Structure 1
């Protein structure tokens, strides 16, 4: 039973690492495509992806809400936009307006439908 638990923990960690990498790729694409959203440099991009992944995890565990842009309709969309907006206060070279966060949540939702793996 202990071995099965260790395997589940490892697969969970690997799942979140994959989510982190996919989030970083999607963030770079989104920042390029979205007016009102900029992020400069690889390290800030990875930091933003880490923060977004962590906030998404917390929202899932505490509120039992899927924070993906199309996860729970309007609620998931607004939470995704809020997570993007709040991340800018921690990442030094990330700037995003409220409108930019809303547009970015739509772009992330569209990219999430194309790229395999869960983004937010």
Structure 2
């Protein structure tokens, strides 16, 4: 998309909060993923072609948030069963995270945009 969008426009697309959108965009701007222009025709746009921005770039720009809501239990740290389960689960989460991050590295915004257009065209004809 060549035309800059305001945070209000983006929030309307996802039924979200413009202030939250601005917070996310600020992190992306610090990492040269998005650029902003002020003024009547201002807004936010990508700084680089969509084919050069990976999901890993975005993930890192957002501070590498946790990928999984699950975590180890620490209700009884002295329990050998809990310790053993936690060790196995930690190894599992680490392996899963490595797979997700490798996939993020291989996916660009252009890939996602192309998939969205295909999906939209497919679903748009069904309704």
Q: Would you say same fold, with TM above 0.5?
A: no
Larger radius of gyration: 2
* TM-score, normalising length: structure 2: 0.33
Give the structure with the higher percent helix: 1
* TM-score, normalising length: structure 1: 0.35
